[in-house]
Amino acid sequence: MEIRTYISEPDRGPQLWIGQEAERDAVYANRRRIRGDRGQRLLRKRGELLERPCAHLYETGGLRRAHVRGHENVLKRLLVHAGAFNRGLWMRTLCGVGTRAASRAG
């Protein structure tokens, strides 16, 4: 499909690639891409737009422990919580309240 991945990866140390040439080439190509300027930019954007909001939902938002019973109800609770969070972001963007842009305007 000609898709390039930019997947962050922990330092695993040396690995034996016996009989895994294709996998080795894919891992090395990914490492090369994430160390470049575009890869770093994409990983920063991921942290800003994806990781930080999810961390906020689970830690600050109290979703680490959901006080409802049943898997389906937990998913409903998560959906409502994430929807409210996204709506808050949208309203702040729309109204300009609580952003750096609003503080610069005054």
pLDDT tens string for the chain (106 positions)?
788 889 888 888 889 999 999 999 999 999 999 999 999 999 999 888 888 888 877 776 667 777 778 888 888 888 888 888 888 888 888 887 765 554 445 4
Asked if 37 and 61 count as a contact pair (C-beta separation under 8 A), the reply is no
Residue written as token pair 């300009």: 96
Residue 27, judged by CB atoms within 10 A of its CB (0-12, 13-18, 19+), counts as middle
Looking at residue 98, its pLDDT comes to: 67
Quote the pLDDT of residue 103. Answer: 44
Q: Which helix (H) or strand (E) holds 87?
A: helix 71-95
* Percent helix, percent strand, percent coil in the chain, to nearest 5: 65, 0, 35
- pLDDT reported for residue 90: 84
Element (H or E) spanning 28, and its range? helix 21-35
Task: Provide the pLDDT for residue 20.
Answer: 95
Report the alpha-carbon distance of residue 79 to residue 10 in Å, rounded. Answer: 30
pLDDT value, residue 102: 47
